[in-house]
Structure 1
């Protein structure tokens, strides 16, 4: 496996000076292609800040972030937006679906922004929805689907154009236990297909389903282990 992500000596400081808050404090991290990683920490640990850095949603106060061979630490907002569109598929706790659009249209929408032609984006969207088990729900709107089904639409949207990184922020936070199992099985399946999956969570049980578990506390990585109980 080749290296996909490398973070070197990264800091993120809010309110610099006497009352500064070090949300990230000299973090170093490497993630290879086709890893399934859980980043776990309590509220205020720095995990959300680290997710923002990994997702190119924010830039560090200092340090370096190399994604897919490119130093993205100091890029402009427009350049970061291009990176997010091309290299990262986001899955959020709140689904972020557009109520007036069908499942198929929700998956298609980011592909329109990426300039994908109509025929190709329809093909990619149908493939993605079938992959997450929603072949029979493509014309349904979010209000006509369960929470678990809505999250599967969000996953289909994230994977439709096969970005190298799937970044899932508390993807099961609003779901019941049955839907949680379904979503985790889908993420595991994406990893088995060769995707790099990075899961942000506060839940030890959810983190235990990943192959590698990174624990963050007070802005520092305090543990980084391979899950010996993980089964592909």
Structure 2
């Protein structure tokens, strides 16, 4: 397979010196294009710090991070912003929708920052909202939608520009069990279309439904394995 992400000996140290905290401690891993990976760990394990690194939201203290063959660990803030805008679609636990904008306006907003023209970004936003089953909610504002529907809008916003990486940070954390199942099913569908999906979670039940699991503990990779559960086997056959 084609390697998309390569992390080499990555460390992140806060308060260097006597009271230093090693949020990441010499982490190395690889993720191929088209994989669906769950990164799991308890609060304080380092999984959120790793997410920030993979999402180009922060830079490491040492080590290298290659995304699409480019060492992004040495880039400036402006260059990292450009990488985020072009390469990564973010889905957050808190949805992060703008309250006074409609669903389609929320999806279009990042496309404006990418310099995409009005007609094209409208077409991309409509396509993304259709993909998540919200063609009937395009003109509704977040307050007029359920939590599950708001998360669908957030997914549409993340995938509209067709970035190679979807980074989902606890995307089911604020949802009921039915909505959570729907969102996880949607992420699986995105994966089947060829997207690379990285799911950050603390939930073992969710991780058990994802093909590959990277378990983080105390800032290092405790385990990296492929699930062999019945559901994962069925998902693999469907691909």
TM-score range, shorter chain: over 0.9
Superimposed CA distance per residue, residues 27-49 of structure 1 (whole angstroms, 9 cap, x where no aligned partner): 00100000000000000000000
Instruction: Find the counterpart in structure 2 of residue 51 from structure 1.
Output: 51
Instruction: Find the counterpart in structure 2 of residue 61 from structure 1.
Output: 61
Q: Give the whole-Å Cα distance in 1 for the aligned partners of 2:187 and 2:65.
A: 25
TM-score of the superposed pair, with normalisation by structure 1: 0.99
Structure 1 segments unaligned to the other structure (5+ residues): none
Instruction: Find the counterpart in structure 1 of residue 70 from structure 2.
Output: 70
How far the C-alpha of 1:224 sits from its partner, in A, is 0.5
Instruction: Find the counterpart in structure 2 of residue 223 from structure 1.
Output: 223
Q: Give the whole-Å Cα distance in 2 for the aligned partners of 1:210 and 1:197.
A: 10
How far the C-alpha of 1:69 sits from its partner, in A, is 1.0
SS in 2 for 1:73: helix
Q: Give the whole-Å Cα distance in 2 for the aligned partners of 1:135 and 1:106.
A: 14
Instruction: Find the counterpart in structure 2 of residue 186 from structure 1.
Output: 186
1:112 paired with 2:88, answer no
Superposed CA RMSD in Å reads: 0.5
* Runs of 4+ with >2 A deviation: none
Instruction: Find the counterpart in structure 2 of residue 30 from structure 1.
Output: 30
Q: Give the whole-Å Cα distance in 1 for the aligned partners of 2:4 and 2:95.
A: 26
Instruction: Find the counterpart in structure 2 of residue 166 from structure 1.
Output: 166
SS in 2 for 1:106: helix
How far the C-alpha of 1:227 sits from its partner, in A, is 1.0
SS in 1 for 2:73: coil
Q: Give the whole-Å Cα distance in 1 for the aligned partners of 2:148 and 2:198.
A: 19
SS in 1 for 2:126: helix
How far the C-alpha of 1:74 sits from its partner, in A, is 1.0
Instruction: Find the counterpart in structure 1 of residue 135 from structure 2.
Output: 135
Q: Give the whole-Å Cα distance in 1 for the aligned partners of 2:118 and 2:208.
A: 40
Matches within 5 A, 1:147-166: 147-166=147-166
How far the C-alpha of 1:108 sits from its partner, in A, is 0.2
Superimposed CA distance per residue, residues 42-91 of structure 1 (whole angstroms, 9 cap, x where no aligned partner): 00000000000000000000000000110001100000000000000000
SS in 2 for 1:221: strand
Superimposed CA distance per residue, residues 93-152 of structure 1 (whole angstroms, 9 cap, x where no aligned partner): 000000000000000000001000000000000000000010100010000000000000
Task: Give the number of equivalent residue pairs.
Answer: 232
